[in-house]
Amino acid sequence: MRFVLAIAAATFFTSCGPASAPVESSKADPTQERWYGETVARLAGMNREAESLYKNGKGDDAAALITKGESLADRLLDVPQPTLAAMEAVSDLDQLYGRMLLSNRNYGWARLLFQKNRARWKSWKPQTPDTARRLKDAESAIDECDRHLTE
């Protein structure tokens, strides 16, 4: 009987001890992998090309590039902590698409894209003059959508 009590007491006291140290994750930071930087550069290039096409009156071609860019944007944002460069590329894609929707009088859809940008830049840390400018641009675009929605 004493043996059983000794085992029960030992089990009780060892279960009350301090928790073991957490095991450090050996996962690599995906933003440091080659594919991530390449994807950011590719999306930024697509944004520049789409912007140029849009300015030159080739909205359909710009829209096709934006559609291709959406899958890249999703992949970039799927990591735990996207880089500033990735956020800028995704933001630029949404900003251009929002402007295109706004020009086509799709005010609700445009507003949705501008709201995504506002949320991105409002919560971005650390704030910089560029992120503050991007936040202000998104808020101005939302205001423009709101003016059109009340017409």
**Is 77 within 8 Å of 124 (Cβ atoms)?**
no
Classify residue 113 as exposed, middle or buried by CB count within 10 Å of its CB (0-12, 13-18, 19+).
Answer: buried
The dihedrals phi and psi of 28, each to the nearest 5 degrees, come to -80, 150
Going by the DSSP 8-state scheme, the letter that residue 115 receives in this structure is H
| pLDDT tens-digit readout, 64-98 | 999 999 999 999 999 999 999 999 999 999 999 99
Residues with Cβ < 8 Å from 17, sequence gap 6 or more? none
Cα(1)–Cα(122) distance, rounded to whole angstroms?
A: 66
Supply the pLDDT for residue 27.
74
Whether pLDDT at 34 is above 70: yes
Closest among 75, 93, 76 to 134, alpha carbons compared: 93
| pLDDT tens-digit readout, 94-117 | 999 999 999 999 999 999 999 999
Supply the pLDDT for residue 16.
54
Supply the pLDDT for residue 71.
97
Q: What pTM was estimated for this model as a whole?
A: 0.80
